[in-house]
A and B are shown apart, each in its own frame.
Chain A
């Protein structure tokens, strides 16, 4: 059973880069670019990890995260949040909303990979 990650990102180039990295690590990467129906997509996908952009068309990543945490089936789902608006206020907001890990763009590839590994390890232990 391979590990599955859902990447919610509207920038195709960034999505491609992350897909390349995680695929090499052995992840099965699915992508989605719209915010509006992201929650349903995540819930139905039943993935091991979600990587979520904040500035999305249709619905902001912050709102998506809150809705995920309100749902029973996605309450503990590991969510790695990526944002280009690197302000500390956003980080606070995200942590309050129950983010698993928060990273600022532009990131280094190693950081992303490490975070994904950690989150997966934590999720597997429990």
Chain B
């Protein structure tokens, strides 16, 4: 007799073996590209976690109790696999292209990345899967019990064994599922381990079946005869239950977190679905092949009252086939462990990603922590989640008393999980589906399922019998198993009908009434039109055609020659003589970096992803692309600003050049003027001096006169040179002002007397000495020079019969203003503008000056912080001199 200790030891060895396989498979997966790890066969076998301990043990019990109804459990997935593989393909494509990590992530991602929805789905999944996990605990515990009963030598307590099983599974799941964090949430090792377990449970069940048919019943023909004779052979079909359970099985196959994990998340290649579409139904067929014979034979040969759920174990044990019983036990153990591991992994991903991490990140305040920190938190969150999930399973097991039939617990879980179906299928095929619709539908379905199925199933401690009989709050239409007065239905059918139909109806109606956010619409389009957006299901091992596409794209971005050189170099680096390199991950990474230099990282990633990865552009990608575009825009606007600045500079240069040209012309004109002004007196001097030298017999008067001319012209020349030097000094700013204090009246006195002394030409000057009592702080000599110039001009040019100059002094805004107005005809209007320019002379008169006087006056007044202007329209020549009372700025 196999002792319990041996059994435990075998279990441990088996687990260690699985763990070793998983570990090795992870190593292989990371180091090599071994294709058998990703073969369609492994994928198909991994789907077999659908067949849990419930199917392994429970199907026989189901058949023993309800006849052929157990077939519905296999029928649902089979119909989905064969009849709806195109829908599955879409699901897998969406999952891969959106990098979906769980069913909750899928729903949340579809409906605009709503975390509320993710939390809802996660809670629903945890509640829905918990009974299922307790079912696995129960099956393992029961199978241990069987061996314990056969081995009375050991003291064995059922309760504690359930606890230890739960603890052991938790450790197992933590070891398997959270060894490392993979960005894709893929676990090659786990998948391989599950595939091995799938093989073990199939072989075990087949072995027991073969033993029963050929070892006990005496061959196929005899077995069929026994079946015909038994009650199971009676073809009694409850159409409502059949349809309901088939539908539930199909829905659960799609929505169960663990199924989603292996079917979508762990999927390596969409094409594997094609194989699985026939291979998985075949697997289910083989699993169900011997269910009826085992049930019939078990009912016949085992004593009345034996638990039919354990026939798979008890028949071999009863027949003394210990090795077979051991194999059968391992089959059941495999079924339970694989389900628990994957379910716990899937749930922990959901719990940690959608519940723990958001809370932790918000508690951290914006998540400004380093990634390593987050990694360890995620790890701990997952481990704790696994422990909590299994703890919940254990708790449910204890609550439900461990007595309920396996199949009915499984179905309750199915019905709960199926509530996700409308939101999922609607999200995949209907762009009009909205977040609010999904949320309302889920909530309605979940509440109805809770009220009509789960709570009544948990016994009288949870839901009082009065509620069951009289309805909630005594309202008869709120009876859990006869909602809205519909009675006489099977509770399961009743619950599924109400919850699913109201769920779907609420989902559709609210979706139609609510308006999706932009992100939702974008994601909706991505999901529904996934085949238009994403490239074909090509792996990294893709063809040269991919390289060609990459080449074409790269040429556009990098330029033809650079792209060709880069590709050629990469091909050479790969040791290939071909022109195009293989699109290996290393090459793609390098290409992405290369492209990122031109178009930005996000765009490069999205572009390569489009061509190679089969993943479509996600919203984050688009946003990142938009960010980059914004940066480019900013850059180009900066360039524009720069070029505008350059334009301005060029204009300034042009202006400066024009000014220089003008100055150069002015300089030429000035030199020409100076030449003229110098040569003219010199001409007279030379001519008369030659006359004096060469002419004999000149009159004494003439000699004197000619000498006087020479003298005058020499003086004129000197004056001109003095003026020129004076102007040059003033213009260059080299003048040193000699500041002093003086009365304006005194300055005017001095100027007038300088001009009028020794000239025969008369000029009357009218002054108001009262207003001239102004004390000035300025360069007195320079100011006097200005007034001398002005008075002398009046004397020279005033053409009145009685030339009079009127000097008036005002105070205008803190400045002294001196107006000098004569009674002549004044400066002609067209000349007024240029009288302050050098060599400007008005009229034909040769007044002896070189035309520099007013130019010098202007320069002086500017130095003194004042101004000199011509006042037009005064009737005569009118000049205004204005200057500050005190000159504080020192001369430069």
- Chain A positions within 8 Å of B, measured between CB atoms, are 10-14, 16-18, 20-21, 24, 33-34, 55, 57-58, 84-87, 104-110
Given contacts A11-B684, A17-B684, A87-B672, contact A106 B679 (CB under 8 A): yes
Name B713's closest neighbour in chain A (CB-CB): A13
Chain A positions within 8 Å of B682 at CB level: 105-106
Contacting pair B676 A84 (CB below 8 A): yes
- Looking at the complex, which one of B672, B683, B686 makes contact with A85 (CB distance below 8 Å)? B672
Taken residue by residue from 659 to 689, chain B's Cβ proximity to chain A (1 for < 8 Å, 0 otherwise) reads as: 0000000000000100111111011111110
Q: Mark B686-705, 1 if CB is under 8 A from A, else 0.
A: 11101100110000000000
Contact assessment for A14 and B683 in the assembled complex, using a CB-CB cutoff below 8 Å: yes
| Contact partners of B686 in chain A: CB under 8 A | 106-108
In the complex with contacts A85-B672, A105-B680, A109-B690, A13-B844 CB distance below 8 A? no
Whole-angstrom CA separation of A104 from B713 in the bound complex:
18
List residues of B whose CB falls within 8 A of some A CB. Answer: 672, 675-680, 682-688, 690-691, 694-695, 709, 712-713, 843-844, 846
Q: Which residues of A contact B688 (CB under 8 A)?
A: 13, 17
Partner of B676, one of A16, A17, A18, A85: A85
Question: Which residues of A sit under 8 angstroms from B687, Cβ to Cβ?
Answer: 14, 17-18, 21, 106-107, 109
CB-contact partner of A84 in B675, B685, B694, B846, under 8 A? B675
Are A12 and B846 in contact (CB-based, < 8 A)? yes
**In contact, A21 and B691 (Cβ under 8 angstroms):** yes
Q: How far is the CB of A88 from chain B (nearest CB, A)?
A: 12
Say whether B844 contacts A14, CB under 8 Å: no
Docked pose: A18 CA to B678 CA in angstroms? 19
Known interface pairs A14-B683, A18-B687; 19 further A-B residue pairs with C-beta atoms within 8 A, sorted by A's residue number: A13-B684, A13-B709, A14-B684, A16-B709, A17-B683, A57-B844, A84-B676, A84-B679, A85-B672, A85-B676, A85-B679, A86-B679, A104-B679, A105-B682, A106-B683, A106-B685, A106-B686, A106-B687, A109-B690
Kindly state the separation between the CA atoms of A84 and B678 in the bound complex, as whole angstroms: 8
Given A10-B844, A57-B843, A106-B685, A17 and B691 touching (CB < 8 A)?
Answer: yes
B713: chain A residues within 8 A (beta carbon): 13
Q: How far is the CA of A16 from the CA of B709 in the complex (A)?
A: 10
Q: CA–CA, A11 to B713, complex, Å?
A: 11
Bound complex: CA A115 to CA B485 (Å): 143
A99 to B677, CA, bound (A): 23
Decide if A14 touches B680 in the complex (CB within 8 Å).
Answer: yes
Report B666 CB to chain A, min CB distance, Å: 15
Measured between beta carbons, the chain B residues less than 8 angstroms from A85 are 672, 675-676, 679
Contact A55 B676 (CB under 8 A): yes
**What are 22 contact pairs spanning A and B, CB under 8 A?**
A10-B846, A12-B846, A13-B688, A13-B712, A14-B680, A14-B687, A16-B709, A17-B688, A20-B691, A57-B844, A84-B676, A85-B672, A85-B679, A86-B675, A105-B679, A105-B680, A106-B683, A106-B687, A107-B683, A108-B686, A108-B690, A109-B694
Q: Sort A-B residue pairs by CB-CB distance and give the 10 closest, nearest first.
A: A17-B687, A84-B679, A57-B844, A13-B684, A106-B683, A105-B683, A106-B686, A84-B676, A109-B690, A106-B682
**A84 engages B691 (CB within 8 Å):** no
Most central of A12, A20, A86 by chain B CB within 10 Å: A20
Separation of A34 and B682 alpha carbons in the complex (Å): 21
User: Which residues on B sit within 8 Å (CB–CB) of A57?
Assistant: 843-844
Interchain CA distance A16-B690 in the complex, whole Å:
13
The residue of chain B having its C-beta at the shortest distance from the C-beta of A12 within the complex is: B846
| Distance, CA A21 to CA B843, complexed state (A) | 29
What is the bound-complex CA distance between A13 and B690, given in angstroms?
A: 14
Residues of A within 8 A of B690 (CB): 108-110
> How far does the Cβ of B374 sit from chain A's closest Cβ, in whole Å?
86
CB of B132 to closest CB in A, whole Å: 111
- Minimal beta-carbon separation of B5 from chain A (angstroms): 127
Instruction: State the Cβ distance, B690 to closest chain A Cβ, in Å.
Output: 5
A109: chain B residues at CB < 8 Å are 687, 690-691, 694
Complex formed: what's the CA distance from A10 to B683 in Å? 13
Query: Do residues A58 and B672 form an inter-chain contact, with CB atoms below 8 A?
Result: no
CB-defined contacts of B678 to chain A, threshold 8 Å: 84
Q: Complex: how many Å from CA A105 to CA B676?
A: 9
Determine the distance from Cα of A86 to Cα of B677 in the docked complex, in whole angstroms: 11
Instruction: Closest A residue to B688 by CB, please name it.
Output: A17
Q: Give the complex CA separation of A12 and B683 in angstroms.
A: 12
Out of B691, B695, B709, B844, which one reaches A34, CB within 8 Å? Answer: B844
Closest A residue to B716 using CB positions: A13
A86 to B695, CA, bound (A): 28
**Chain B contacts of A107 at CB under 8 A?**
683, 686-687
Of A12, A13, A24, the most chain B CB neighbours within 10 A belong to A13
Contacts of B685 in A (CB 8 A): 106
Min distance, Cβ A74 to any Cβ of chain B, angstroms: 23
A46 CB, min distance to chain B CBs, angstroms: 25
Q: Which of A18, A55, A104 has the most C-beta atoms of chain B within 10 angstroms of its own C-beta?
A: A55
**What is the distance, in angstroms, from A41's C-beta to the closest C-beta of chain B?**
14
A18 nearest in chain B by CB position: B687
Q: Which one, B672, B695, B843, B846, contacts A11 given CB within 8 A?
A: B846
Interface centre among B684, B687, B695 (most CB of A within 10 A): B687
Bound state CA distance, A106 and B682, in angstroms?
Answer: 6
- B683 proximity list for chain A (CB < 8 A): 11, 14, 17, 84, 105-107
Quick one: closest A residue to B693, CB to CB? A109
